[in-house]
Amino acid sequence: SSGINAEYGKIACHIAEDLESGISSHTTDLLRQILPDRLGHATMIPVDSEDGDFVRRNKIPIECCMTSNVISKTVKSYRDHHFKTWWDLGHPVLLCTDDPGTFNTTLSREYQLAVDSFGLTVEDLKAMNRAAIEWVFDESVKDSLRDII
């Protein structure tokens, strides 16, 4: 990592999740200045945009919170969720819950939604989880997580 990460460590940046502002020059500047290690939501970053190209080139993983995004109306439906677009490109994506109490969901439910909405297989979920271990910020737990999967 470079920029602010070098001074403060790993950074997950919730970004481009607001329908009102969408993607803006502020978002673009923030992406480049911080170069986050992960992006939260990123529902308003089109894959085929300058920012989408930047995210792909830098292989910045996207934390996808399907239920949160549907309830918050930053995506139309589960089937329209941007997770699938990024997944199909082979881009690093993670399924997350984002305030499970508020959105009445669990990680298991988010996985089931991905299976039901996009036809992911058990092997797809395992591959996604194995890859996600590389983006865990706490290096001390990575080996034990690999042993589980």
Is the pLDDT at 8 greater than 70? The verdict is no
CA atoms within 13 A on the CB side of 69: 27
* pLDDT digit string, tens, across residues 32-80: 888 889 888 888 888 898 889 999 999 999 999 999 999 988 889 999 9
Mean pLDDT computed over every residue of the chain: 85
Q: What pTM value is reported for the model?
A: 0.85
What CA–CA distance (Å, rounded) separates 133 from 135?
Answer: 5
Cβ(67)–Cβ(105) under 8 Å?
Answer: yes
Torsion, Cα of 45, 99, 11, 73 (10° steps): 10
pLDDT at 18 over 80: no
Q: How confident is the model at residue 1, as a pLDDT?
A: 46
139 is annotated as an active-site residue? no
Name the catalytic one among 17, 20, 123, 134: 17
Q: Would the pLDDT of 29 be above 70?
A: yes
Q: How confident is the model at residue 22 (pLDDT cuts 50, 70, 90)?
A: low
